Amino acid sequence: MLTRRTLLLFTASISAVGCTARAQTTPSAANEARFGQSLWRDVTDAQWRERLEPLAFRVLRQEATERAGTSPLSSEHRHGTYVCAGCGLELFRSDWKYDSGTGWPSFFRTFSENVATKEDLLLFTPRTEYHCARCLGHQGHVFEDGPRPTGLRYCNNGAALRFVPA
Protein backbone atom coordinates (compact mmCIF):
# COMPACT_ATOMS: atom_id res chain seq x y z
CA MET A 1 0.00 0.00 0.00
CA LEU A 2 1.27 3.42 -0.89
CA THR A 3 1.40 5.36 2.35
CA ARG A 4 2.01 9.05 2.58
CA ARG A 5 5.48 8.30 3.92
CA THR A 6 6.49 6.07 1.03
CA LEU A 7 5.07 8.63 -1.34
CA LEU A 8 7.25 11.28 0.27
CA LEU A 9 10.30 9.03 0.08
CA PHE A 10 9.51 8.29 -3.53
CA THR A 11 9.19 11.99 -4.27
CA ALA A 12 12.49 12.64 -2.52
CA SER A 13 14.26 9.98 -4.57
CA ILE A 14 12.79 11.32 -7.80
CA SER A 15 13.89 14.76 -6.70
CA ALA A 16 17.42 13.52 -6.07
CA VAL A 17 17.44 11.95 -9.52
CA GLY A 18 16.22 15.26 -10.88
CA CYS A 19 19.20 17.06 -9.38
CA THR A 20 21.82 14.66 -10.67
CA ALA A 21 20.05 14.44 -14.01
CA ARG A 22 21.01 18.04 -14.68
CA ALA A 23 24.36 16.85 -15.94
CA GLN A 24 22.51 14.52 -18.29
CA THR A 25 20.57 17.29 -20.00
CA THR A 26 20.86 16.30 -23.60
CA PRO A 27 21.55 19.32 -25.74
CA SER A 28 20.95 18.69 -29.42
CA ALA A 29 23.83 17.96 -31.76
CA ALA A 30 23.58 21.56 -32.93
CA ASN A 31 23.76 22.76 -29.30
CA GLU A 32 26.84 20.68 -28.71
CA ALA A 33 28.55 21.70 -31.92
CA ARG A 34 28.16 25.27 -30.76
CA PHE A 35 28.70 25.06 -27.01
CA GLY A 36 30.21 21.66 -26.20
CA GLN A 37 33.67 23.15 -25.73
CA SER A 38 32.48 26.25 -23.90
CA LEU A 39 34.44 27.24 -20.81
CA TRP A 40 31.09 27.99 -19.17
CA ARG A 41 30.69 24.23 -18.80
CA ASP A 42 33.75 24.17 -16.53
CA VAL A 43 32.51 26.69 -13.95
CA THR A 44 32.21 24.90 -10.61
CA ASP A 45 29.27 25.13 -8.21
CA ALA A 46 31.47 27.10 -5.78
CA GLN A 47 32.31 29.60 -8.53
CA TRP A 48 28.65 29.89 -9.52
CA ARG A 49 27.73 30.51 -5.92
CA GLU A 50 30.16 33.44 -5.85
CA ARG A 51 29.00 34.89 -9.16
CA LEU A 52 25.24 34.66 -8.74
CA GLU A 53 22.61 36.14 -6.46
CA PRO A 54 21.38 33.44 -4.03
CA LEU A 55 18.03 33.01 -5.78
CA ALA A 56 19.63 32.92 -9.23
CA PHE A 57 22.04 30.27 -7.95
CA ARG A 58 19.20 28.12 -6.63
CA VAL A 59 17.24 28.40 -9.87
CA LEU A 60 20.07 28.08 -12.37
CA ARG A 61 22.24 25.52 -10.63
CA GLN A 62 19.82 23.63 -8.37
CA GLU A 63 16.68 23.75 -10.53
CA ALA A 64 14.59 25.62 -7.95
CA THR A 65 11.51 27.56 -9.03
CA GLU A 66 11.00 31.12 -7.81
CA ARG A 67 7.67 32.03 -6.20
CA ALA A 68 5.04 33.17 -8.71
CA GLY A 69 4.57 36.89 -9.02
CA THR A 70 7.94 37.82 -7.51
CA SER A 71 9.97 38.67 -10.61
CA PRO A 72 10.18 42.32 -11.69
CA LEU A 73 10.66 40.99 -15.23
CA SER A 74 7.00 39.96 -15.36
CA SER A 75 6.13 43.64 -15.74
CA GLU A 76 9.06 44.52 -18.02
CA HIS A 77 7.61 45.87 -21.27
CA ARG A 78 10.56 47.60 -22.91
CA HIS A 79 12.13 46.42 -26.16
CA GLY A 80 15.23 44.34 -25.74
CA THR A 81 16.61 40.88 -25.18
CA TYR A 82 16.42 38.46 -22.28
CA VAL A 83 19.72 36.71 -21.66
CA CYS A 84 20.80 33.89 -19.35
CA ALA A 85 21.62 35.34 -15.93
CA GLY A 86 24.45 32.84 -15.70
CA CYS A 87 26.42 33.29 -18.91
CA GLY A 88 24.66 36.08 -20.84
CA LEU A 89 23.53 33.93 -23.80
CA GLU A 90 20.51 35.40 -25.62
CA LEU A 91 17.39 33.34 -24.91
CA PHE A 92 14.36 35.51 -25.79
CA ARG A 93 13.38 38.68 -27.61
CA SER A 94 10.93 41.06 -25.95
CA ASP A 95 8.70 40.59 -29.05
CA TRP A 96 8.18 36.96 -27.98
CA LYS A 97 7.07 37.83 -24.44
CA TYR A 98 3.41 37.81 -23.45
CA ASP A 99 1.34 37.99 -20.29
CA SER A 100 0.37 34.41 -19.46
CA GLY A 101 -1.25 35.40 -16.16
CA THR A 102 0.87 32.78 -14.35
CA GLY A 103 3.14 35.16 -12.44
CA TRP A 104 6.27 34.09 -14.34
CA PRO A 105 7.81 35.80 -17.36
CA SER A 106 6.42 33.90 -20.35
CA PHE A 107 7.43 33.67 -23.99
CA PHE A 108 5.98 31.89 -27.01
CA ARG A 109 9.30 31.48 -28.78
CA THR A 110 12.98 31.12 -27.95
CA PHE A 111 16.30 31.17 -29.78
CA SER A 112 16.01 27.39 -30.11
CA GLU A 113 19.70 26.88 -30.89
CA ASN A 114 20.48 28.38 -27.47
CA VAL A 115 18.14 26.16 -25.47
CA ALA A 116 18.46 22.50 -24.39
CA THR A 117 15.55 20.46 -23.08
CA LYS A 118 14.95 17.39 -20.98
CA GLU A 119 11.94 15.54 -19.54
CA ASP A 120 11.29 16.31 -15.89
CA LEU A 121 9.19 13.87 -13.84
CA LEU A 122 9.27 15.84 -10.58
CA LEU A 123 5.52 16.38 -10.44
CA PHE A 124 4.66 12.90 -11.75
CA THR A 125 3.44 14.49 -14.96
CA PRO A 126 6.20 14.79 -17.51
CA ARG A 127 7.08 18.39 -18.17
CA THR A 128 9.75 19.54 -20.54
CA GLU A 129 12.38 21.45 -18.70
CA TYR A 130 14.75 23.69 -20.61
CA HIS A 131 18.23 24.96 -19.92
CA CYS A 132 20.63 27.47 -21.35
CA ALA A 133 22.51 25.39 -23.94
CA ARG A 134 25.84 27.05 -23.11
CA CYS A 135 26.17 26.97 -19.29
CA LEU A 136 23.33 24.42 -18.85
CA GLY A 137 21.69 26.67 -16.26
CA HIS A 138 18.07 25.73 -15.54
CA GLN A 139 15.62 28.31 -16.92
CA GLY A 140 12.07 26.91 -16.70
CA HIS A 141 9.53 24.63 -18.34
CA VAL A 142 7.83 24.68 -21.72
CA PHE A 143 4.13 23.83 -22.07
CA GLU A 144 1.88 23.42 -25.10
CA ASP A 145 -0.77 25.91 -24.04
CA GLY A 146 0.80 29.08 -25.40
CA PRO A 147 -0.59 31.57 -27.90
CA ARG A 148 -0.29 31.51 -31.66
CA PRO A 149 1.76 31.21 -33.77
CA THR A 150 3.75 28.53 -31.88
CA GLY A 151 1.24 27.34 -29.27
CA LEU A 152 4.14 27.13 -26.82
CA ARG A 153 4.56 28.72 -23.41
CA TYR A 154 8.10 29.05 -22.13
CA CYS A 155 7.48 29.62 -18.43
CA ASN A 156 10.73 31.14 -17.22
CA ASN A 157 12.14 31.99 -13.83
CA GLY A 158 12.84 35.73 -13.84
CA ALA A 159 15.84 35.14 -11.55
CA ALA A 160 17.45 33.07 -14.31
CA LEU A 161 17.22 35.94 -16.82
CA ARG A 162 18.74 39.36 -17.24
CA PHE A 163 17.01 41.97 -19.41
CA VAL A 164 19.15 43.93 -21.85
CA PRO A 165 17.22 46.98 -23.20
CA ALA A 166 17.55 47.58 -26.93
Which positions are annotated as active-site residues?
155
36 or 69: whose CB is closer to Zn ion? 36
Q: Residue 30, Cβ neighbours under 10 Å: how many?
A: 11
Q: How far is the CB of 11 from Zn ion (least distance, A)?
A: 28
Q: Which long-range contacts does 61-68 make (Cβ < 8 Å, 24+ apart)?
A: 61/86, 61/137, 61/138, 62/19, 62/138, 63/18, 63/19, 63/22, 63/129, 63/138, 65/140, 65/157, 66/104, 66/157, 66/158, 66/159, 68/102, 68/103, 68/104
Helices and strands of the chain, counted as H and E runs: 4, 9
Q: How far is the CB of 80 from Zn ion (least distance, A)?
A: 17
Which residues contact Zn ion by CB under 5 A?
84, 86-87, 89, 132, 134-135, 137
Q: How far is the CB of 50 from Zn ion (least distance, A)?
A: 16
128 or 145: whose CB is closer to Zn ion? 128
25 or 94: whose CB is closer to Zn ion? 25
